[in-house]
Amino acid sequence: LASQEARAPGDTLRIAASKMKTANGDHLGVMSNGQLVGVITEHDIITRCLAEGRDYTKYTVGECMTRGR
């Protein structure tokens, strides 16, 4: 996660993808109430949103992320 900005579960995938581009990265941490709850990756966005025909401007990080264990 290094210097990349964490996202909230309610953020859209559009916002997350934009932050990844700005950070020149392929993943972002997902934080809720100060706790790391998962990670959103390029792979998550492609396989769980775009490949399913979902609208990345409406689908949220929380709906698409890989959850912590």
pLDDT along the chain (69 residues), means of 10: 70 94 92 92 95 95 89
Q: What's residue 45's pLDDT?
A: 96
* Predicted pLDDT of residue 3: 43
Task: Please list the alpha-helical segments (H only) found in the chain.
Answer: 13-23, 42-48, 61-64
Type of residue found at 26: D
pLDDT recorded at residue 57: 94
Distance CA 11, CA 30 (A): 10
Query: In this predicted structure, what is the pLDDT of residue 69?
Result: 67
pTM of the predicted protein model: 0.85
